[in-house]
Amino acid sequence: MQVYLPIAEMSVDAFLLVGIGFGVGWLSGLFGVGGGFLLTPLLILIGIPSPVAVASGANQTLGASVSGLIAQWRRGNVDAKMGGVLLVGGVLGSLAGVQLFALLRRIGQVDLAVSVFYVVVLGTVGGLMVMESVRAILRRRTATKRKLHEHFWMHGLPLKMRFRRSRLYISIIPPFAVGFGIGVLSAVMGVGGGFMLVPAMIYFLGMPTSVVIGTSLFQVVFVAANVTMLQAVQLGTVDILLTMLLLLGGVAGAQFGASMGTRLRGEETRALLGLLVLSVAMSLLWGLLRRPANLFSSGPAL
Amino acid sequence: MIRFALLLLLAWAGPGRAQELPLVAALSQNAVEVTTGFTGTSLMVFGSTEGPIGPGGDEVLVVARGPTRPVVVRRKVPVLGVIWVNGPSARFAGVPGFYFLAGTRPAWQVLPEEERQRNGLGLDSLPLTSTGARSPAFRAALLELESDSGLWVEDPAPVEIAGSRLFHARLPLPAAVPTGDYQVEVLLVRSRRIVARQALAFRVDRVGTADRIATVAADQPFLYGLSCILFAALAGWLGSVLFRRG
């Protein structure tokens, strides 16, 4: 069934979109991430213009993360104070990111920038995840105990604050910086940033794993809402029909994925997610290196 | 339906009036509605002539032009010999978003070259002026891209003739057709000269949900952004309610 997307101004198969939403939702439920990093490249692959794919991807991430956030909030797994600090950084970061995106669009380098961001960020994150989880799987046998958290330069920074839920007493500068960086990335890549935020919170901020997922969802929901609003006002590229079709499949898929995820062990899940992230990065890298079939492309002049 | 319309036209342009008008033409529709289920459509241009058309007689040309917009054509270049990046670009002002040309015979066969160029009959005679990169390859690329998307069509099939005085041509409008005002011109060519022309027009409009979404997004972007956020959040919340323990 073909459906005409009013903002993308093109006709797409509705079942294909629902199917993509379901698949991405399933994976995101399985791994506990928003799945935007898979969704945006897939949308670009089926011919949705990059600006619409990025903006609608952020909008869909918002919807997909809300149900997860509600569940985590009910269990008390959200550190609202830490989330708030991350969020201030995230909102400012996404403001900067949307300006960067508008600039890239004017000079005609959106496709390049989106691809390069994906290759660099996904390549790094995916590689680290695979290495870390393989090491963890190997270490499981020897079972040496790690220290709860270690002190390094970060703990010497000023503006310290107590985060009760996270059992941390640290400077607000690192979480602010993390939030800002993720905000920029989420505006340019159309992702919520959960797949970067979760490792950053565990390894960089030293937060306990129990509150990480909930707090990252808290940040993702609000940053994605901010990106949606900025993209809608400044660029007019959010396609609500596209978002809704993706969410229709996404919310169902996430539930199936989540129930399957409980049967997988942590390290194996992380290794699989890392491989998935790496393969997306590789396919985008191939797209950049391969000689394009048509050297010319056209677009509306701005 | 087309045959009926043709008969109707024949009756209307019957004995009394056909002698006065060398050419009478009409469109099957004056408005095309783009709904959320729009997958493209086609219009019929039909009419009748005073004298016989076809081999040995007069020729009919049908040309349609859509609303214009500026377009940028970019060429990818390899940076450091590895990564393909958008490089030089040319900006074309006033590029028609839709162009269609068909005739009982191709325009270049029935009209002298300068006459054809002056009337913009044929993709190679579109008045495309560009700024930026100078290479003619950009113009050629624009032609190729627009033709591939089905928005620029030249001589897909000859204008069909029925009974030597009736003609009709199908005007294909793909799903990506831009909204706005379209001009259709029907030309009668006799001995390599345009002897009569009739201008017709139709409109392509978004209607219903598709139109409302696009209008709100353009006119009240803040309200639109807010509703996108609320709708997405609502969908997520509904999902969590529906599937709890499911």
Write out the two tokens for A230. 């900025």
pLDDT of residue B198: 93
| Residue A27: pLDDT band with limits 50, 70, 90 | confident
**Averaged over A5-11, what is the pLDDT?**
83
pLDDT of residue A35: 76
| Residue B222: pLDDT band with limits 50, 70, 90 | very high
Q: Domain B2-64+98-206 is in which class? A: mainly beta
Write out the two tokens for B183. 């001009």
pLDDT of residue B12: 57
**Averaged over B159-169, what is the pLDDT?**
90
**Averaged over B34-62, what is the pLDDT?**
89
| Residue B5: pLDDT band with limits 50, 70, 90 | low
* Residue B235 parent element (H or E): helix B221-242
Q: Which of A105-119, A257-271, B57-71 has the lowest mean pLDDT?
A: A257-271
pLDDT of residue B73: 92
Chain A positions touching B41 (Cβ under 8 A) are none
Bigger pLDDT: B70 or A294?
B70
Q: Give the range of the structural domain holding residue A133, as residue numbers without chain letter.
A: 2-289
Residue A301: inside a domain, yes or no? no
Number of separate domains in chain A: 1
In Å, how far is B91's CA from the nearest CA of chain A?
7
| Residue B98: pLDDT band with limits 50, 70, 90 | very high
Instruction: Write the residue in A66, A108, A291 that is nearest to B236 by C-beta.
Output: A66
Q: How far apart are CA A65 and CA A59, in angstroms?
A: 10
- A158, pLDDT greater than 80: no
Bigger pLDDT: A91 or B2?
A91
Q: What ipTM is given for this predicted complex?
A: 0.81
pLDDT of residue A68: 77
Residue A298: inside a domain, yes or no? no
Residue B131: closest CA among chain A residues belongs to which residue? A301
Average pLDDT, chain B: 86
pLDDT of residue A149: 53
pLDDT of residue A78: 84
**Averaged over A276-294, what is the pLDDT?**
85
CA dihedral B84, A16, B173, B28 (to 10 degrees): -170
- B163, pLDDT greater than 80: yes
Q: Which chain B residues in 75-114 lie under 8 Å from chain A, judged by CB atoms? A: 75-76, 78, 82-86, 89, 91-92
- A175, pLDDT greater than 50: yes
Task: Read off the DSSP letter of residue A234.
Answer: I
Instruction: Write the residue in B145, B218, B232 that is nearest to A296 by C-beta.
Output: B145
Smallest CA-to-CA distance from B167 within B29, B19, B64, B61 is with: B61
Report CB contact under 8 Å: A288, B84. Answer: yes
- B15, pLDDT greater than 70: no
pLDDT of residue B246: 47
In Å, how far is A239's CA from the nearest CA of chain B?
8
- A150, pLDDT greater than 60: no
Instruction: Write the residue in A236, A240, A294 that is nearest to B221 by C-beta.
Output: A236
Report CB contact under 8 Å: B232, A243. Answer: yes
The structure's pTM equals 0.76
pLDDT of residue A200: 82
Residue A299: inside a domain, yes or no? no
The region, left, alpha or beta by phi > 0 then psi within -120 to 50, assigned to residue B77 is beta
Q: How far apart are CA A238 and CA B69, in angstroms?
A: 22
Chain B positions touching A64 (Cβ under 8 A) are 236
Bigger pLDDT: A214 or B67?
B67
**Averaged over A71-97, what is the pLDDT?**
87
Residue whose token pair is 């005739």: B103
| Residue B102: pLDDT band with limits 50, 70, 90 | very high
**Averaged over B52-67, what is the pLDDT?**
90
**Averaged over A58-85, what is the pLDDT?**
84
Instruction: Write the residue in B69, B78, B224 that is nearest to A300 by C-beta.
Output: B69
Chain A positions touching B242 (Cβ under 8 A) are 251
- A74, pLDDT greater than 50: yes
Q: Which chain B residues in 39-78 lie under 8 Å from chain A, judged by CB atoms? A: 39-40, 69-76, 78
Residues across chain A: 302
Q: How far apart are CA A251 and CA B242, in angstroms?
A: 10
**Averaged over B24-39, what is the pLDDT?**
89
Chain B positions touching A225 (Cβ under 8 A) are 229, 233
Average pLDDT, chain A: 82
Chain A positions touching B220 (Cβ under 8 A) are none
**Averaged over B72-89, what is the pLDDT?**
86
Smallest CA-to-CA distance from B36 within A40, A1, A268 is with: A1
CA B198 to chain centre: 17
CB-based contact, B224 to chain A, within 8 Å: yes
Neighbours of B242 (CB within 10 A): 12
Residue A295: inside a domain, yes or no? no
| Residue A152: pLDDT band with limits 50, 70, 90 | low
Report CB contact under 8 Å: B73, A296. Answer: yes
Residue whose token pair is 């998307």: B149
pLDDT of residue A293: 81
pLDDT of residue B201: 94
Residue A268: inside a domain, yes or no? yes
pLDDT of residue B38: 85
* Residue A131 parent element (H or E): helix A110-142
In Å, how far is B44's CA from the nearest CA of chain A?
22
In chain B, CATH 2.60.40.10 sits at 2-64+98-206
- B8, pLDDT greater than 70: no
**Averaged over A51-70, what is the pLDDT?**
85
